Amino acid sequence: MPTTMIAYVEQQRRLVSDGDAEPSDGGDAGQENIGALDVAAAAAAGDIALAARDFGGMVFIPPATLLRPSTTDDVVRAVCVARRSSRLTVAARGNGHSVGGQAMARGGVVLDMRDLGPPMELVRCGGVAADVPAGALWEEVLEWGVRNHGMAPTSWTDYLGLTVGGTLSNGGIGGQAFRHGPQVANVAELEVVTGDGERRVCSPSLCSDLFFAALGGLGQFGVITRARIPLVPAPKMVRWIRVVYKGFEEYAGDAEWLVTRADSEAFDYVEGFAFVNDVSDPVNGWGSVAILPGSVFDPAKIPAESEPVLYCLELALHHNHRGAAGVDERAKEMMWPLRYMRGLVFAADVSYVDFLSRVGRSEEEARANGTWATPHPWLNILVSSSDIADFDRTVFKRILRRGVGGPMLVYPLLRSKWDPRMSVAVPESEVFYLVALLRFIAPREGDAALEEAVAQNREIIGCCRSKGYDFKVYIPRYESEADWARHFGRDWARFVERKRRYDPIAILAPGQTIFARAEPPAAAP
């Protein structure tokens, strides 16, 4: 197909000669084979430049091309072409919400997974499940499931503008994870295109090693093209509650007590965050606690001797068959032993869809004030419960006492909900905390604020290491093999062996900078 081939080469030249683009170093290798791709699926040059960026906004890595596969066969073709070339790599791009270039491929092929089909489908396999294309956003899964079937998955991230394949390649953590496990623990089957160009269906009982490798596998073992996600009846309404604590000890004690209760006595959702004890900070201060606009945060309720940082426990209870009165009673019963500051309680009854979509409203605000487009030096860490009190003293109360310009989540999870056969690395202890420092930088703050934030992140990681905490970075980004080996610990050998088995010449997800692309195997004589 000569015309499309020319179109492709022009796109590539334009990209390389763009003033703001670095030359891609895979150019020749790309041209040697790229003609074999169905470049009818190739995107326009402007979109190719988009694939060089992500939500983090801190790295810019141009690919040779961006393809929009609509079928698994398109994905197979792209991987096979890369495999025959000497240097091409392939990165699946979900919604590009990584913050360190993880979905990029320098001089390689980026697959924009958003157009992948076929459409979602309800399947009955013991229970009810949805077969979902990996490029679907979780908000699309929610909308489709609730509207068409009154059903929904059980485990969610806070923000739903992420793809199914993207969160399953990392973990997918939210307030339901203490009870149902993270999203990677709520999958019945995957279809995956491995680095040898094979399309494989896997599950806990079929090709189970590949199934568990791909879950939290940072895209290293295959491009996930379809996931089967179990569904349950969706509740209509949710009681959404926030209560404030003045001390970390009571906050963490109560949060751990709540996440270790039997299911019949548990909330449906438990999260929480640290915030700055300051009225004047609209992002990190008292104003971040209210649920509904117009709720009043009464400062008289905060003791004068309070620390610079306070804590907010966030809970939710599904109405199910209970109705509002039943939920009142149940919530009261479940909350009376908690040690929050009486008088600092915020609650609202909202629809299930509105509750799960709550961060979408913050996205609208951030887009309006420009902070969605500025760099996001985010840091997510999983810290063992045995170290979290010291972490609080060192990090929240000292390093971050003025906040991070966005949410500082800190809430407990249970290791027993994470299958150790999956690739995700988590701390050793049964209870560990997700600490998410979701930094937003106002447009006027500029490079100095970015540098300060990056330096703070480095200081926090350095501190976790020097104090010998049991911790893991969640959604990690390391450059050296030694760092990756340390990250995976005793599972590093398994990770390397799985790479050898499923992507032996390291074509996939090069933006994770774990393995270097190798030469293709010599053709048989």
Active site positions, annotated: 97, 158, 271
CA dist 435 and 422 (Å) reads 21
Size of the chain, expressed as the number of residues it contains = 525
Indicate the helix (H) or strand (E) that contains 431.
strand 431-437
Residue closer to ligand FAD (CB basis): 96 or 344: 96
Residue closer to ligand FAD (CB basis): 340 or 411: 411
Q: Which of 27, 107, 108, 165 binds ligand FAD (CB under 6 A)?
A: 165
Q: Which residue is nearest to ligand FAD (CB)?
A: 166
CB 200 within 8 A of CB 210: yes
CA dist 134 and 123 (Å) reads 16
The secondary structure of residue 137, as a DSSP letter, is B
Q: Which stretch binds ligand FAD (CB under 6 A): 1-9, 92-100, 119-127, 331-339?
A: 92-100
Q: Which stretch binds ligand FAD (CB under 6 A): 171-179, 202-210, 443-451, 487-495?
A: 171-179
> To the nearest whole angstrom, how small is the minimum distance from the Cβ of residue 15 to ligand FAD?
19
> To the nearest whole angstrom, how small is the minimum distance from the Cβ of residue 1 to ligand FAD?
27
User: Is residue 76 within the footprint of ligand FAD (CB under 6 A)?
Assistant: no
> To the nearest whole angstrom, how small is the minimum distance from the Cβ of residue 305 to ligand FAD?
34
* DSSP assignment of 158-199: S---SBHHHHHTT----TTHHHH--GGGS-SEEEEEETTS-E
Residue closer to ligand FAD (CB basis): 136 or 388: 136
User: Is residue 102 within the footprint of ligand FAD (CB under 6 A)?
Assistant: yes
Identity of residue 428:
E
CB 284 within 8 A of CB 143: no
User: Is residue 160 within the footprint of ligand FAD (CB under 6 A)?
Assistant: no
CA dist 169 and 423 (Å) reads 9
User: Is residue 98 within the footprint of ligand FAD (CB under 6 A)?
Assistant: yes
User: Is residue 498 within the footprint of ligand FAD (CB under 6 A)?
Assistant: no
Q: Which of 72, 170, 371, 394 binds ligand FAD (CB under 6 A)?
A: 170
Q: Which of 72, 157, 371, 457 binds ligand FAD (CB under 6 A)?
A: 157
The secondary structure of residue 234, as a DSSP letter, is P
Residues 6+ apart with CB under 8 A from 222: 192, 193, 194, 195, 200, 210, 214, 502, 503, 508
Q: Which stretch binds ligand FAD (CB under 6 A): 204-212, 257-265, 271-279, 507-515?
A: 507-515
Q: Which of 48, 66, 146, 223 binds ligand FAD (CB under 6 A)?
A: 223
**What is the residue whose two structure tokens read 């791709």?**
37
CA dist 461 and 504 (Å) reads 32
CA dist 514 and 524 (Å) reads 29
Q: Which stretch binds ligand FAD (CB under 6 A): 81-89, 94-102, 235-243, 486-494?
A: 94-102
User: Is residue 96 within the footprint of ligand FAD (CB under 6 A)?
Assistant: yes
> To the nearest whole angstrom, how small is the minimum distance from the Cβ of residue 262 to ligand FAD?
25
Residue closer to ligand FAD (CB basis): 62 or 340: 62
Span 128-147, contacts to ligand FAD by CB under 6 A: 134
Q: Which of 26, 62, 108, 172 binds ligand FAD (CB under 6 A)?
A: 172
Instruction: Give backbone dihedrals phi and psi of 466, rounded to 5 degrees, phi first.
Output: -65, -30
3-state SS class at 350: strand
Span 454-493, contacts to ligand FAD by CB under 6 A: 475
Contacts 24+ apart (CB under 8 A), 281-285: 281/402, 281/403, 283/403, 283/405, 283/406, 283/440, 284/402, 284/403, 284/404, 284/405, 284/406, 284/408, 285/403
Residue closer to ligand FAD (CB basis): 11 or 102: 102
Bridge partners, residue 239, by sequence: 317, 349
Q: What's the token pair of residue 420?
A: 């150790």
CA dist 377 and 236 (Å) reads 36
Question: Where do contacts with ligand FAD occur on this chain (CB under 6 A)?
Answer: 55, 91-98, 102-103, 113, 134, 157-159, 162-163, 165-167, 169-174, 218-219, 223-224, 475, 509, 511-512
